[in-house]
């Protein structure tokens, strides 16, 4: 089985314009607050890097990496931190920056876990959302684009570690 890049769903220019719009909204909403932009690795690394640079010199960033435990073949939603925050988040406003919200199970558990660390707030900023796939309730405060239920790659999102570095979002097609 091999994978190929199919239809482009969101172009580089569309992403650029949306990232600028989100950066403006986040900067306005968190003005004067102790904000920590927190990228969820690996998928969010491109989005977070563009978003933080669009926000300017004051932006502070961190990264976390998590694994999800499986309940049979389905992810249980229970999570383990492979990489935790590099500093204390107590009293800080955490904005989780994610590539995509799919079932929402990972993020709903992640938000609960982070709240145990005593932040001032925890909100979600996601580039993409597949609302038709939702199983767990998550509130996305800042969203780039809603997309249909198709597997997509590019701008940080991968398929078996490939295609993360494409500058646009495209559908993946299976061959063979």
Active site residues: 102
Best CA proximity match to 21, nearest among 111, 125, 148: 125
Instruction: Tell me if 144 contacts ligand IMP by CB under 6 A.
Output: no
List the interface residues with ligand IMP, window 56-115 (CB under 6 A): 98-107
In this structure, are residues 62 and 34 in contact, taking their beta carbons and an 8 Å threshold? no
Here the tokens at position 34 are 């102790």
Instruction: Tell me if 152 contacts ligand IMP by CB under 6 A.
Output: yes
For ligand IMP, the closer of residues 29 and 113 by Cβ is 113
| Smallest distance from ligand IMP to CB 150, Å | 7
Please give the backbone phi and psi of residue 50, each rounded to the nearest 5 degrees, phi first.
-70, -40
Q: Spell out, one character per residue from 156 to 175, where the chain touches ligand IMP: x when CB under 6 A holds, - when not.
A: -x------------------
Give, as one character, the DSSP assignment of residue 132: G
In this structure, are residues 123 and 96 in contact, taking their beta carbons and an 8 Å threshold? yes
| Smallest distance from ligand IMP to CB 53, Å | 22
Please give the backbone phi and psi of residue 57, each rounded to the nearest 5 degrees, phi first.
-65, -25
Q: Interface with ligand IMP by CB under 6 A: which residues?
A: 43, 98-107, 151-153, 157
């Amino acid at each position: 089985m091999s994978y190929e890049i199919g239809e482009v769903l969101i172009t580089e220019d569309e992403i650029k314009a949306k990232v600028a719009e989100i950066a403006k909204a986040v900067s306005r909403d968190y003005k004067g607050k102790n904000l920590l932009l927190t990228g969820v690795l690996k998928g969010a690394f491109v989005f977070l890097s563009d978003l933080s640079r669009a926000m300017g010199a004051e932006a502070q960033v961190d990264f976390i990496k998590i694994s999800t435990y499986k309940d049979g073949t389905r992810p249980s939603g229970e999570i383990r931190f492979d990489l935790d925050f590099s500093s204390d988040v107590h009293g800080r406003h955490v904005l989780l920056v994610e590539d995509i919200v799919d079932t929402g199970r990972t993020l709903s558990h992640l938000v609960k876990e982070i709240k145990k660390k005593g932040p001032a707030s925890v909100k979600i900023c996601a580039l993409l959302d597949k609302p038709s796939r939702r199983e767990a309730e998550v509130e996305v405060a800042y969203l780039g684009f809603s997309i249909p239920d198709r597997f997509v790659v590019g701008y940080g999102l991968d398929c078996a570690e490939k295609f993360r570095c494409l500058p646009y979002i495209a559908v993946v097609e299976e061959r063979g």
